[in-house]
C-alpha cells in the first residue's frame, strides 16, 4: 500500500462526527482512499444517514485531513450512499465503544 494512504487514514482517524464519539474511519464511513501520481488524494465516503446535518463539515474535515498528510498536494472527497452505511461497517473497537455487540 502507498505510504501516503496510510498517512491519510491516520489523519482521518482524527475526524469525528460531533454526534458520535468515534472517528469516521472506525465508523466505517470511509469506503476508499487513493492517491494518484500527481499527489492528489481521492476519498470516497458516506454518512450514517443521508440527511446528516453536518455532512458538509464532515466532507471538508476529511478533505483537510487528507491535505495535512505528507506527500499530498490536493484532495477530493466524493460522497456516496451506495452501498448505504450500516452498523456492521464499524470496526470492532467502534462497536464495543458504542455498545453494539
**Residues 30-83: pLDDT tens digits?**
999 999 999 999 999 999 999 989 999 999 999 999 999 999 999 999 999 999
| Paired sense of beta strands 30-35 and 40-45, if any | antiparallel
pLDDT at residue 17 in the model: 87
Cell of 95: 462497536
Task: Dump pLDDT digits (tens) for 17-33.
Answer: 888 889 999 999 999 99
pLDDT at residue 19 in the model: 85
- Please tell me the distance from the alpha carbon of residue 16 to that of residue 61, in angstroms, as a whole number: 9
- Please tell me the distance from the alpha carbon of residue 91 to that of residue 101, in angstroms, as a whole number: 11
Counting Cβ atoms within 10 Å, is residue 16 exposed (0-12), middle (13-18) or buried (19+)?
Answer: middle
Rounded (10°) angle between helices 3-12 and 55-67 = 140
Cell of 83: 452501498
pLDDT at residue 1 in the model: 67
Amino acid at each position: 500500500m502507498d505510504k501516503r494512504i496510510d498517512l491519510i487514514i491516520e489523519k482521518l482517524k482524527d475526524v469525528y462526527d460531533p454526534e458520535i464519539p468515534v472517528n469516521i474511519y472506525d465508523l466505517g464511513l470511509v469506503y476508499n482512499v487513493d492517491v494518484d501520481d500527481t499527489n492528489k488524494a481521492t476519498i470516497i465516503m458516506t454518512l450514517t444517514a443521508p440527511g446528516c446535518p453536518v455532512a458538509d463539515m464532515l466532507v471538508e474535515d476529511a478533505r483537510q485531513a487528507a491535505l495535512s498528510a505528507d506527500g499530498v498536494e490536493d484532495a477530493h472527497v466524493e460522497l456516496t450512499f451506495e452501498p448505504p452505511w450500516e452498523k456492521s461497517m464499524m470496526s470492532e473497537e467502534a462497536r464495543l465503544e458504542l455498545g453494539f455487540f
